Structure 1
Amino acid sequence: MAKSLKNLTTILLLLFLAPIIIATIQTPLVTQQTEEIKKEDKPIVYAAQLDSKADVTEIVEPKKAYVYFTHSHEAFLPILAASEEKISVYHPVNNITSFQDQIAAQFAFHQVETEFLEKDSTKEMDDYHTIRPFVQDALAHSEYDIVFDIHRDSAKANVTTLQSGNESYAKFIFVIGGEHPNYRWNEQLANNLSDQLNKLVPGISRGILVKSGKGVDGVYNQDLAKNLLVVELGGIDNTEQEINRSIAILAKAVSNMFHQQIAS
């Protein structure tokens, strides 16, 4: 009888303790599963988000350039030869304005928006005096960070071509009219850009040419804006590839100059 009572007591005790034992065993598993779920729900935090000194790409408002071609018919002999045109230093279609799309694309790549003077074919605008009112009107209605009047030099290949490594480039030269009161502003900007060009490809800029006196314009419409630059891009012997390479360098140099101004 005593043995039966003892067995009954043991069974009752086990029944009483069973829920507690089961709860004790299961609790760590539940807790572990909950922690794993929480870990999965937690967003991933990258190191850059934790480091207050991490570099952050600054979104800079694009700069604006205005571009026109006073002597729009200036042509390049190798380009005319390649298209089987009559060899001439001037052409109504295959001329320096053919590079307008390349200029726009390269400048846009470096966050510089470009607007061009759309010439009216019914009006003759191939000298500084006739083109002046159109440039003046454009500058009166919009603000630009830089203005380019792009030309082709009349010099030969030995002056206008640079061999750098395995590539050849059309050289630049900046022309400054020294016969207006504020020409030093234009000259300083030209010097800055010339330096940026030569940092990228040493020797690609031939520097600055200040012109004044009898037989030259002496102003080149640069009195309209302190940031208006007359630039000669290559010469009559430069190829399309050389000019395209130089346009890419010009776009990068302009961008670098703007970023340098922001930093200072």
Structure 2
Amino acid sequence: MKWLTAEVETNKIKRFFQGLGTLTRLYLMLSFITFSVVFIVGTLVYLQNKISFEPLSTITGTAATVPTTVFIDMMTTQVPQLEKASTSTFSQKNITKFLFQFMSGINPKNPKSLVALAIPGMERETPSLLYGGDAATSISPVEYNPPAKVFQQDEISSTREESPAPVPSEPAPNKQVNENKGNKSVFIYHSHNRESWIPELTKITNPDLAFDANKNVTLLGKRMKESFDKLGISATHSDKDYPSSVKGFTYPKSYQYSKLTVKEAFATNPKLSYLFDIHRDSQGRDKATVTINKKDYAQIYFVVGEKNPNWEKNMEFAKKIHDKLNEKYPGISRGIFGKNSNGNGEYNQSISPNSSLIEIGGVENTLVESYRTIDILVEIIADLINDAEKV
């Protein structure tokens, strides 16, 4: 009987150690897997920081796509002293919409985003908000390739008419002219020089057809140069029409054409420092207009090409302009957006840290509204240039 009891106790001890051994092996295996995952992720992050200058755009843009009210609601769940919003953003509708758009890249309110995923080149880039603006209300710039018929050969081969006289607008605020223009100067150009506006064109109601050989964003560039000249800032403007001057013109290569224009300008004037590529966005009037002191202004978007190795410097330059604009004219600038996924992704901005792509209003704004914005934009940039000259 004692022998049987001893054998039972021995079996229990064996089972205990067998179970302990199994748990030990399981623990060691899970520890090894965890260590391996942490090591691999750490290595990848280290290598990414060492060999890549591009930001993780998916992470950069994620926080910007989340409305500010979401963060407020999250804080109120942990800080009772904060007053909760009357309507929480944590609704099934809002959460479902955000998750669907974030995971699929399809905006339920924009049917074109679904088509763009299937047609290469239709969606040029997916911009992410880098700085400024309210993530809950900031609308990203939109750009789609115009239909091929807009640049048909019979239109391109026709003689380009002289640009019409600028539409009168309120004069720029009186400022003391700086007679010393310094050694640095401004170059203004247009990669998409035929971008126009529906209200300024006859028989055009489709935003995708709002392109014109005469009445287009080059008028904004001309106005910009004239405003700089009045303020004593040396400025040069290129209104080159690429569809009529480039053999075999194709719209997706616009930035390649404009890069040659910039290089030619530098060859003529090596002292160039400030480069501005002026566009108009494809958003509607309600998303690209702000009313200040009972006057309508075309809102401004800044675009930074994140494939430029030194994109942070261009962002800092745009940030200075954005901050001063909104300080003096609240809401005039929607913010700074980054692009790096497809298409160009560099926008000639590697040529100078003081280079910026600026969208002036949208396709439904008027020329007068855009001129108003140009006048105050030049005023702000001139102040920055003069401050830099003093330093």
Superposition TM-score, scaled by structure 1 size: 0.71
In terms of mean alpha carbon deviation, does 95-104 or 181-190 score higher?
95-104
Residues 273 and 352, structure 2, Cα contact 8 Å, conserved in 1: no
**Structure 1 residues 131, 263: CA separation in 2 closer, same or farther (over 3 Å shift)?**
closer
In structure 2, the CA distance between the partners of 1:132 and 1:262, relative to structure 1 (3 Å rule), is: closer
Structure 2 contact 189–221 (Cα < 8 Å) conserved: no
Q: Go from structure 1 to structure 2 and tell me whether the alpha carbon gap of 1:59 and 1:134 turns closer, same or farther (over 3 Å shift).
A: closer
Q: What do residues 102-148 of structure 1 show as CA deviations (whole Å, max 9, x unaligned)?
A: 22221112222221225264324851112222212212332223110
Q: Which of 240, 245, 251 in structure 2 is aligned with 1:122?
A: 245
**Of 148, 158, 166, which residue of structure 1 is paired with 2:294?**
166
* Count of paired positions: 204
Q: Return the match for 2:185 from 64, 69, 75.
A: 64
SS of equivalent residue, structure 1 residue 231: strand
Per-residue displacement from partner, 1:234-257 (whole Å, max 9, x unpaired)? 100111211110011011011111
Per-residue CA deviations over 1:146-189 (Å, capped at 9, x if unaligned) read 11001110111122100112111001111000012111111110
Q: After the TM superposition, which residues 78-89 of structure 1 pair with which residues of structure 2 at under 5 Å, given as runs?
A: 78-80=199-201, 84-87=202-205, 88-89=209-210
Match of 1:153 in 2: 281
Structure 2 counterpart SS, 1:219: coil
Higher RCO structure (Cα 8 Å, ≥6 apart): 1
Q: Secondary structure of the equivalent of 2:235?
A: strand
Name the counterpart of 2:366. Answer: 239
1-side partners of 2:320 and 2:358: how far apart? Answer: 13
CA 1:66/1:261 → structure 2, altered by over 3 Å: closer, same or farther?
Answer: same
2:140 corresponding residue in structure 1: none
Which SS does the other structure have where 1:148 is aligned? strand
Match of 2:380 in 1: 253
Distance in 2 between residues matched to 1:172 and 1:77, nearest whole Å = 18
Corresponding letter in the other structure for 2:359: E
Match of 1:179 in 2: 307
Q: Pairwise mapping of residues 156-235 of structure 1 onto structure 2 (< 5 A)?
A: 156-213=284-341, 215-235=342-362
Contact 1:65 1:115 in 2 (8 A): yes
How far has the Cα of 1:85 moved from its partner?
Answer: 4.7
The answer to which of 60-69 and 239-248 deviates more is: 60-69
| Structure 1 counterpart of 2:265 | 138
In structure 2, do the counterparts of structure 1 residues 60 and 95 end up closer, same or farther at CA, with 3 Å as the change threshold? Answer: same
Q: In structure 2, what residue type is equivalent to 1:76? A: W
Of the three residues 86, 89, 95, the one matched with 2:216 is 95
Matched with 2:127 is: none
Q: Which runs of 5+ in 2 are unaligned?
A: 1-176
Q: Which moved more, 1:118-127 or 1:101-110?
A: 118-127
**1:177 and 1:263 mapped to 2: Cα distance?**
29
Amino acid at match of 1:61: K
Structure 1: which 5+ runs fail to align? Answer: 1-56
Note closer, same or farther for the CA distance 1:157–1:58 as it changes in structure 2 (3 Å cut): closer
Q: Which amino acid counterpart does residue 101 of structure 1 have in structure 2?
A: K
CA shift, 1:263, in A, is 4.8
Between the aligned partners of 1:79 and 1:263, the Cα distance in structure 2 is 41
1:107 paired residue among 224, 228, 235: 228
CA RMSD of aligned residues (A): 2.1
Partners of 2:378 and 2:257 in 1: how far apart?
A: 28
2:274–2:355 CA contact under 8 A, matched in 1 = yes
What is the one-letter code of the residue matched to 2:217? Answer: I
CA contact (8 A) 1:175 1:210 kept: yes
Percent identity reads: 29
- Measured in 2, the distance between the counterparts of 1:245 and 1:256 equals 17
- Which structure has the larger Rg? 1
CA deviation after TM superposition for structure 1 residue 259, in Å: 2.9
Alpha-carbon distance between aligned partners in 2 of 1:94 and 1:136, rounded to the nearest angstrom: 26
